[in-house]
A and B are shown apart, each in its own frame.
Chain A
Amino acid sequence: MGVGMVGEAHVPMLPAPPSVVWRATVNGRLEELLAPSNAILLDVLRDRVGQLGVKRGCDLGTCGCCAVLIDGEPRLSCMTLAGDVAGAAITTVEGLADGHHLAPIQACFAEHGGSQCGFCTPGFLVTAQALLDRTTNPSASEIAEAIEGNLCRCTGYQPIIDSIKAAAEVLRGEAERAEPRTMPHADPHPAGQDEPILPPGHAR
């Protein structure tokens, strides 16, 4: 074991953690990859699986930007050990839409100003979807409780609450879903020649 310096004191340097095979279903696709034993789910989803919709905000559990559905439940990927959820079905914001048709919650966020700068939006969409999966008639306090762990610095929250209520109405069949203002794109994220080539393992 090597010895490194921290302040005045000598502390032993720790060996790199071993790699283990990590398998899980991410947005309906089986992923199988080698990840270090200490991997955090957020890092695996972003850097290895390539789901960049999972945002790293605080990395400490306070902002909700990193929320994903794990077996249908909204949880913080920055505070989840990848190894603890191996084998689970994980849904990120990328998995909400049906192909290139936005889910009602996404269309309503766009329509009602639920998203401004957009950084918090993936987390809100995922937590709101989990709420709507449980009930299509959420009360004001149920909405407040569902999004209490998500921070937004732009909207002031009311447009987000309006968006969730509107999506609930669509899901109850009481309202038509808004027509998208722009043409849906068959593949908004082409991974082809135009994409910059990044070193393996980083921001892929």
Chain B
Amino acid sequence: MMLTPPFNLHHPTTVDEACALAARLLEEGRPFDWVAGGTDLLPNYKWHIETKPDVISLARIEGLDAIETDRIGCMVRLHDLAISEVAHPLIATAASKVASSLIRRSATLGGNLCLDTRCFWFNQSEDWRRSIDWCHKADCGSGAECRVIPNQNTLCVATYQGDLAPSLLVLNATVELIGPSGARTLPLRDFFQLDGITRNVLKPGEFLLMVHLPEDAAKRRGAYRKLRVRESWDFPEAGVAASWVPGDVSSLRLASTGLESIPGVHDALVADHGDWTLPEGRRELAEAVKGAVKPVNNTALPPRYRKAMVSVLAARAMGDLMEEV
């Protein structure tokens, strides 16, 4: 059994109350984490990774779990997304491929987008990490190096393995963030920020409130392909999402996950390549996506294999788009 680290759990019931509480904790210099479903935070906490003395739960805040065609609240559970008839089919499919049916009943959309990056030198018990004298991401003040890219302690290349980001990226989603200094909305593609420690642009005290989808998302047809060790619940070792407005070849969008510290957007490659509706064009474009990603050795499968599979997944995802509805 693993001992849960001590922390004080808070349960605000409104967004305003959550922001006020965050502001108060920041002012008092008390570091804290948000928790949604807890399926990512709690395993890390049990391993005593980056624990904080205060944790604010979003579970009791009313109104964050609504699914509409143009917006989805951060506390929507992946199980509800997967069976939703309102959500875009691509989002429902991607949600259904996350973890297991048991975990999807707790896991949330916001937690999936804000998922901590993963690395096999890092997602380990405290004793295990102590035995290798820590690593840069959780160095306990030791100034340890990164174990994946040694001789440096400035960059962490832990892998982002969230399943929903690529599908939301190819639908051009935007995210609404809220915190003590107010709300702001930005494209999801600008939300993620290197490196594996920084993860995203959330400022202290801010949380992800809502995902918005543009009007044209409903017209798009999408596909998501995922490489995992066991189909039952493993994280993506690589994942590629594609979408297009059927009939408009230039409308193709491609995005990937599970390969770098942040998800990859590959729209620029689409413009540079020929007609992907033909098998030859698809292969070329898929090879270009493969060339654009740089997986490192910190997940279950070796990077060379994951990289090779990116072009397979990309070609298959584009192939899925071509299939008759």
Contact = CB atoms under 8 A, between A and B. Distances in A.
A56 B140 CA distance: 29
A63 to B, nearest CB: 10
Contacts of B103: 61, 76, 79, 149
Contacts of A16: 6
Interface in A51-109: 56, 59-62, 64, 67, 73-76, 78-81, 83-84
A79 B106 contact: yes
B268 interface: no
A18 to B, nearest CB: 6
Given A75-B106, A80-B106, A149-B99, A56 B1 contact: yes
Contact of B42 (A8, A37, A75, A79): A79
B141 A9 contact: yes
Given A9-B141, A81-B57, A38 B102 contact: no
Contacts of B20: none
Interface of A: 6-11, 14-18, 36-40, 43, 56, 59-62, 64, 67, 73-76, 78-81, 83-84, 127, 145-146, 148-150
A81 B38 contact: yes
Contact of A7 (B8, B35, B39, B130): B130
Of the four ranges (under 10, 10 to 19, 20 to 34, 35 or more), the interface on chain B belongs to: 35 or more
A17 B8 contact: yes
B38 A79 contact: yes
B39 A10 contact: no
Contact of B9 (A9, A38, A127, A149): A38
B142 A9 contact: yes
A64 B1 contact: no
22 contacts: A6-B130, A6-B140, A7-B142, A8-B141, A8-B142, A9-B140, A10-B141, A11-B141, A17-B6, A39-B4, A43-B4, A56-B1, A61-B43, A67-B102, A74-B102, A75-B106, A80-B38, A83-B57, A127-B102, A145-B101, A148-B101, A150-B102
Contact of A38 (B1, B6, B141, B231): B6
A148 B100 contact: yes
- Count chain A CB atoms within 10 A of each CB in B4, B55, B141 and give the residue with the most: B4
Interface string B183-197: 000000000000000
Interface string B73-106: 0000000000000000000000000011111011
B42 A7 contact: no
Contacts of A84: 11, 38, 57, 59-60
Interface in B37-51: 37-39, 42-43, 46, 51
Contacts of A6: 130, 140
Contacts, number: 112
Interface of B: 1-2, 4-9, 11, 35, 37-39, 42-43, 46, 51, 53, 55, 57, 59-60, 99-103, 105-106, 130, 133-134, 140-142, 231-233
A14 B53 contact: yes
Nearest to A59: B2
Given A14-B53, A79-B37, 12 more contacts: A14-B6, A17-B9, A37-B9, A39-B4, A73-B105, A75-B106, A79-B38, A79-B42, A79-B43, A81-B42, A83-B11, A149-B233
- Count chain B CB atoms within 10 A of each CB in A10, A61, A146 and give the residue with the most: A61
Given A7-B130, A60-B43, A83 B105 contact: no
B11 A76 contact: no
Contacts of A146: 101
Contacts of B39: 61, 76, 79
B21 to A, nearest CB: 14
A38 B134 CA distance: 26
Nearest to A62: B233
A38 B99 contact: no
A76 B100 CA distance: 11
Nearest to B45: A38
A76 B37 CA distance: 11
B43 A38 contact: no
A43 B1 CA distance: 10
Contacts of A10: 141
A37 B46 contact: no
A38 B101 contact: no
Contacts of A17: 6-9
